[in-house]
Every structure is written in C-alpha cells, then in structure tokens.
Amino acid sequence: MHELSLVAALFETLEEKAREHRAARITVVRLKVGKLSGAVPELLESAFETYKKGTIADGARLEIEEVPVRLRCRSCGGERLDVEGSFACLVCGGRDVELLEGRDLVVERIELEADEPPSSS
C-alpha cells in the first residue's frame, strides 16, 4: 500500500507548514487526486486516519477532490474529459492526445489553527 508512504510524505509537508505558521493544530487538509495518479482515495483516507493519531493533525479532516483525466488532441486541438477510459479525440477520432490533467496528487489547502493567547484578566 503505497498510500501510507504518500501520507507519510504529506505529514512532513503538513508539519513543516504548521511550524512556519506557528500553528497549534491542523484542522483540514484538502487534496486533489488525479484519476491516473496511482493513488486510491479510499486508501489515502484510511492511511491518513491511521497516521494522524498523536500528531498535530490528530483532529484534522481530510477532503479529497478526485480530478478526472482531461485530454487535448494534438491534431485538431479538441479537449475532453475522459470518462470512458478511451484516449481518443471526440472531435476527430485521433489518438495523438496530450494529458492536461489527471495524474497529479496535490495539496490544495491546509487549514491551521493557532494556540489561543492567554487571557489577561
């Protein structure tokens, strides 16, 4: 399950960003996961839930947006979202296509929470 190693690398980034912003907690992590990224969203969620225990992200919620495959035909310039698994152009039928979107795994947003300052009563 390479999702666990992906989540371990994710947590290095999360902890670094939390330190940079002097955050006490991470509350939300939003990922964009391309259909061709090789990562299974359900397995990422499971690995995240396991890995976050006892960390700065212990109570964090993971949000995953699945990104479809988007293609552009090099012959006619036609673009399409690939929903059928066919990498052929819908306009001209050509197979010389460029992959524009759908293979990346991106951290889109991290929501952080600061420690409450002590009250001065």
Mean pLDDT of each 10-residue bin along the chain, 121 residues long: 90 95 96 95 96 96 95 92 76 90 95 74 52
Task: State CA 85 to chain mean position distance.
Answer: 21
| Amino acid letter for position 8 | A
CA distance 76 to 110: 39
Other residues' Cβ atoms within 10 Å of the Cβ of residue 6: 20
Please check whether residue 39 is in contact with residue 33, taking contact to mean a CB–CB distance below 8 angstroms: yes
CB 87 within 8 A of CB 103: no
Q: What is the pLDDT of residue 115?
A: 75
pLDDT, position 120: 56
> What was the pLDDT predicted at 91?
85
Asked if residues 6 and 39 have their Cβ atoms less than 8 Å apart, the reply is yes
**Topology of domain 2-68+101-113, per CATH?**
hypothetical protein PF0899 fold (3.30.2320)
Measured CA to CA, the distance from residue 68 to residue 102 in angstroms comes to: 5
Taking alpha carbons only, the member of 34, 48, 35 closest to residue 3 is: 48
